[in-house]
A and B are shown apart, each in its own frame.
Chain A
């Protein structure tokens, strides 16, 4: 199901950037576990500029990433760009590695890359590198924009631009979408700031319609982004996007329409 034409794998990641605990709605850990079931890896960065993120916060961050099959990392805003890229790149390699390990198991029995003697390992890793560089990648950034994150958003935006630069250098098609949460009113769990793009080009600011609310509905926001991966819109099962984007949209749908 996750295998696509020409052997490349379509990779999907959610990168959550937050500085605290969720406090509204469904559990983010459960949401991340669901995402993983749909083939979306969830990574989490906890921002720790002023004071600490709290024991509860860092525990939750680690749990979300674990449930989402991804990685978590605490980072200051200065290191944010680097951390985002490191997590994304490592996750790509790991996703490929898991798939390759699965193949190896079917061919060689109980064996993974690590168990191979160096010469064979060398060839397998060449394949992993090749796939990591060329497989199409969609990364949805989900930014916690609750009151305490406000002073950090300029740095977050800068890091997003920097990350686009790295994604753009990949040989495989790479796209990014940006969301923030919470929205302006209670029912809005996540707001789309930037639709799938492979170029940020213009200097226009990314975050609009920022609302200053204390709530942090991390779980519901993750579920929203999953909808977006699935339907290309935040409006649930609307079929609008199917007509609008015949080119690239098809590829993504292909994963699900089996």
Chain B
């Protein structure tokens, strides 16, 4: 029953669907999730690029597809138009060495993982990327789902901070148990609550993701101590001590404690804090920097000299 294919397929391999017959040429490996391997593929007939996920297990991958389909239906019904509708493109099987490997094809999104994005653009961009991410989560929560396995690797960011959640393997219906999680971002790991899928579960993970991105050292130290002594207090202590986290401290504290009415409220507070932080950073730049005044004086002198020289002859 388990159709596992850990060895990755070589670029150029053409994957043909068993049921619908469409063909996809593998370009390269994009990444690996808990349920399968993701490739960049080119649809042979249309030459369009897509992401194709090959599952290790038929039931697991189908369960993931079911979530994606349900989300798509819900969005469609609510009349949300735009890019989200075409997320899932096709579901099929691939016969490979006498076995059926389940796969699904989705929209290919260019972007880089959250951590790489922030390393390149600077931690200040967390405000914007975070807001986009929270809005995605809000949509998910309002449709009755919880993302579950929220971690930096599962967040892709486009050059201007737009966010795409990848790997829907952990998405669980609200009220059920969280299907898949990663220990650092799991509130059970920190003794801070259960593993029932509810919006506060995602808030908590989101907060730990922020701590991880802006204060990795202290988080690592807290996470690797003896499990008996590990607790929510360690996270709160990091929040209070780390200057990098200061702009979002209020939000993060409430998220760790699960103290938001709903994700809309969480979004709103984040937006306020991110805007305020942006304002604070801009203020000193409001005055003209000294080097610019100097440069202006120099160029003015040069102009006068040049004029003097030209007019003299």
Chain B binds chain A: yes
Q: Which residues of A contact B (CB under 8 A)?
A: 81-82, 89, 93-94, 97, 112-114, 117-118, 121-122, 125-126, 128-129, 133, 158, 162, 165-166, 168-171
The listed residue with most B CB atoms (<10 A of its CB), out of A113, A118, A129, is A118
The segment out of B132-140, B172-180, B207-215 that lies at the interface is B172-180
Report whether B59 and A97 are in contact in the complex, using a CB–CB cutoff of 8 Å. yes
CB nearest neighbor in B for A174: B177
Report the bound CA distance from A125 to B104 in whole Å: 15
Q: Does B69 contact A (CB under 8 A)?
A: yes
Report the bound CA distance from A166 to B65 in whole Å: 23
Known pairs A117-B19, A125-B63, A125-B66; A171 contacts B177 (CB<8 A): yes
Give me 11 A-to-B residue pairs in the complex whose CB atoms sit less than 8 angstroms apart, sorted by A's number.
A113-B1, A117-B19, A118-B92, A121-B58, A125-B63, A158-B227, A158-B228, A165-B188, A165-B194, A165-B195, A166-B195
Contacts of A166 in B (CB 8 A): 177, 188, 195
**0/1 per residue, B59-91, Cβ < 8 Å to A?**
110110110010000000000000000000001
3 closest A-B pairs by beta carbon, nearest first, are A169-B177, A169-B195, A125-B62
How many A-B contacts if CB must be within 8 Å?
66
Q: Does B196 contact A (CB under 8 A)?
A: yes
**0/1 per residue, B177-221, Cβ < 8 Å to A?**
111000100001100001111000000000000000000000000
Report whether A113 and B66 are in contact in the complex, using a CB–CB cutoff of 8 Å. no
CB nearest neighbor in A for B201: A169
Report whether B59 and A169 are in contact in the complex, using a CB–CB cutoff of 8 Å. no
Q: Give the number of chain B interface residues (Cβ < 8 Å).
A: 29
CB nearest neighbor in B for A172: B177
Contacts of B175 in A (CB 8 A): 171
Given contacts A118-B19, A122-B91, A169-B178, 19 further A-B contacts (CB under 8 A): A89-B179, A97-B59, A113-B1, A114-B1, A114-B100, A118-B91, A118-B92, A126-B66, A128-B59, A129-B66, A133-B176, A158-B227, A166-B177, A166-B188, A168-B194, A168-B195, A169-B197, A170-B176, A171-B177
CB nearest neighbor in A for B228: A158
Contacts of A128 in B (CB 8 A): 59, 63
Q: Does B233 contact A (CB under 8 A)?
A: no
Q: Which residues of B contact A (CB under 8 A)?
A: 1, 3, 19, 58-60, 62-63, 65-66, 69, 91-93, 100, 175-179, 183, 188-189, 194-197, 227-228
What's the minimum C-beta distance from B68 to chain A, rounded to whole angstroms?
11
What's the minimum C-beta distance from A113 to chain B, rounded to whole angstroms?
6
Report whether B59 and A170 are in contact in the complex, using a CB–CB cutoff of 8 Å. no
Report whether B194 and A122 are in contact in the complex, using a CB–CB cutoff of 8 Å. no
Report the bound CA distance from A117 to B102 in whole Å: 11
Known pairs A94-B1, A114-B3, A133-B177; A162 contacts B188 (CB<8 A): yes
Report the bound CA distance from A126 to B70 in whole Å: 11
Report whether B59 and A125 are in contact in the complex, using a CB–CB cutoff of 8 Å. yes
Contacts of B92 in A (CB 8 A): 118
Contacts of A93 in B (CB 8 A): 59-60
Report the bound CA distance from A165 to B196 in whole Å: 9
Report the bound CA distance from A207 to B20 in whole Å: 56
What's the minimum C-beta distance from B184 to chain A, rounded to whole angstroms?
12
Report whether A122 and B69 are in contact in the complex, using a CB–CB cutoff of 8 Å. yes
CB nearest neighbor in B for A100: B59
Contacts of A118 in B (CB 8 A): 19, 62, 65, 91-93
Contacts of B1 in A (CB 8 A): 94, 97, 112-114
